A and B are shown apart, each in its own frame.
Chain A
Amino acid sequence: MLDTARIRADFPLLRQLENGHRLVYLDNAATTQKPEAVLGAIAEYYRTNNANVHRGAYALAVRATEAYEAARASVARFVNAWAPEGVVFTRGTTEAINLVAASYGRANVRAGDTVVVTAMDHHSNLVPWQILCEEKRATVTMVEITEDGRLDLSDFGRALERRPKIVAFPYVSNALGTVNPVAQLVRLAHAAGAVVVVDGAQSTPHLRVDVQALDCDFYALSGHKMLGPMGSGALVAKPALLDAMPPYHGGGEMISRVWDDHSTYNQIPHKFEAGTPNVEGAVGLAAAIAYLESVGLDRIAEHEVALARSAIERLSQLDGITLYGPREHRAGVVSFTYRDIHPHDLATIVDQDGICIRAGHHCAQPLMRRLNVAATARASFYLYNDRDDLDALAGSLVKAGALFGYVSA
Chain B
Amino acid sequence: MPSRARSSRPERCLDTSRPEPRLSALYQELILDHYRRPRNKGVIDQPTHTMALNNPLCGDEIDLQLQMEDDVIKDVRFIGRGCSISQAAASMMTQIIKGKRLTDALAVADRMSAMMRGDESAAQDKTLGDLRALAGVAKFPIRIKCALLPWNALRDAVKP
Residues of A within 8 A of B (CB): 3, 6-7, 9-10, 15-20, 35-37, 40, 291, 294-295, 340-345, 348-349, 352, 359-361, 365, 368, 374-375, 399, 403-405
Question: Does the CB pair A404–B27 fall under 8 Å?
Answer: yes
Chain A residues with CB under 8 A of B6: 36
Distance from B137 Cβ to chain A, minimum over Cβ atoms (Å): 10
Partner of B23, one of A17, A35, A352, A365: A352
Question: Does the CB pair A17–B15 fall under 8 Å?
Answer: yes
Q: Please measure, in the bound complex, the distance between the C-alpha atom of A70 and the C-alpha atom of B9, giving whole angstroms.
A: 31
11 A-B residue pairs with Cβ-Cβ distance under 8 Å, sorted by A, are: A9-B7, A10-B5, A15-B12, A17-B16, A18-B16, A36-B5, A342-B84, A345-B84, A352-B23, A360-B59, A374-B59
Distance from B84 Cβ to chain A, minimum over Cβ atoms (Å): 5
Question: Does the CB pair B84–A291 fall under 8 Å?
Answer: no
Q: Please measure, in the bound complex, the distance between the C-alpha atom of A41 and the C-alpha atom of B23, giving whole angstroms.
A: 41
Q: Please measure, in the bound complex, the distance between the C-alpha atom of A216 and the C-alpha atom of B6, giving whole angstroms.
A: 42
Chain B residues with CB under 8 A of A35: 2, 5
Question: Does the CB pair B23–A349 fall under 8 Å?
Answer: yes
How many A-B Cβ pairs are below 8 Å? Answer: 94
Known: A342-B83, A345-B83. A403 touches B58 (CB 8 A): no
**Which residues of B36-61 have CB atoms within 8 Å of chain A's CB atoms?**
36, 57-61
Distance from A302 Cβ to chain B, minimum over Cβ atoms (Å): 15
Is B89 in contact with chain A by the CB < 8 A criterion?
no
Chain A residues with CB under 8 A of B20: 19-20, 352
Which of B12, B35, B84 has the most A CB atoms < 10 Å from its CB?
B84
**Which residues of B62-101 have CB atoms within 8 Å of chain A's CB atoms?**
81-85
Partner of A16, one of B15, B18, B140: B15
Q: Please measure, in the bound complex, the distance between the C-alpha atom of A399 and the C-alpha atom of B20, giving whole angstroms.
A: 15
Question: Does the CB pair B1–A9 fall under 8 Å?
Answer: no
Question: Does the CB pair A6–B1 fall under 8 Å?
Answer: yes
Question: Does the CB pair B5–A359 fall under 8 Å?
Answer: no
Chain B residues with CB under 8 A of A352: 20-21, 23
Is B106 in contact with chain A by the CB < 8 A criterion?
no
Question: Does the CB pair A10–B2 fall under 8 Å?
Answer: yes
Question: Does the CB pair B15–A361 fall under 8 Å?
Answer: no
Q: Please measure, in the bound complex, the distance between the C-alpha atom of A86 and the C-alpha atom of B35, giving whole angstroms.
A: 53
Chain A residues with CB under 8 A of B57: 360
Distance from A348 Cβ to chain B, minimum over Cβ atoms (Å): 6
Q: Please measure, in the bound complex, the distance between the C-alpha atom of A361 and the C-alpha atom of B21, giving whole angstroms.
A: 26
Q: Please measure, in the bound complex, the distance between the C-alpha atom of A290 and the C-alpha atom of B85, giving whole angstroms.
A: 45
Q: Which residue of chain B has its CB nearest to the CB of A354?
A: B17
Q: Please measure, in the bound complex, the distance between the C-alpha atom of A343 and the C-alpha atom of B36, giving whole angstroms.
A: 15
Q: Which residue of chain B has its CB nearest to the CB of A15?
A: B13
Q: Please measure, in the bound complex, the distance between the C-alpha atom of A165 and the C-alpha atom of B32, giving whole angstroms.
A: 51
Question: Does the CB pair B2–A344 fall under 8 Å?
Answer: no
Q: Please measure, in the bound complex, the distance between the C-alpha atom of A92 and the C-alpha atom of B20, giving whole angstroms.
A: 36
5 tightest A-B CB contacts, nearest first:
A36-B5, A342-B83, A344-B83, A17-B15, A19-B17
Question: Does the CB pair B85–A6 fall under 8 Å?
Answer: no
Question: Does the CB pair A291–B59 fall under 8 Å?
Answer: no
Which of B23, B82, B140 has the most A CB atoms < 10 Å from its CB?
B23
Q: Which residue of chain A has its CB nearest to the CB of B27?
A: A403
Chain A residues with CB under 8 A of B32: 404-405
Which of B7, B16, B58 has the most A CB atoms < 10 Å from its CB?
B58
Chain A residues with CB under 8 A of B81: 374
Question: Does the CB pair B58–A360 fall under 8 Å?
Answer: yes
Q: Which residue of chain A has its CB nearest to the CB of B21?
A: A352
Known: A345-B27, A345-B84, A360-B58. A17 touches B2 (CB 8 A): no
Is B146 in contact with chain A by the CB < 8 A criterion?
yes
Q: Which residue of chain A has its CB nearest to the CB of B84?
A: A345
Additional 12 contacts, C-beta under 8 A, given A17-B13, A348-B143? A9-B5, A9-B11, A16-B13, A18-B16, A19-B20, A36-B5, A291-B2, A295-B2, A348-B23, A352-B21, A359-B58, A374-B82
Distance from B41 Cβ to chain A, minimum over Cβ atoms (Å): 15
Distance from B15 Cβ to chain A, minimum over Cβ atoms (Å): 4
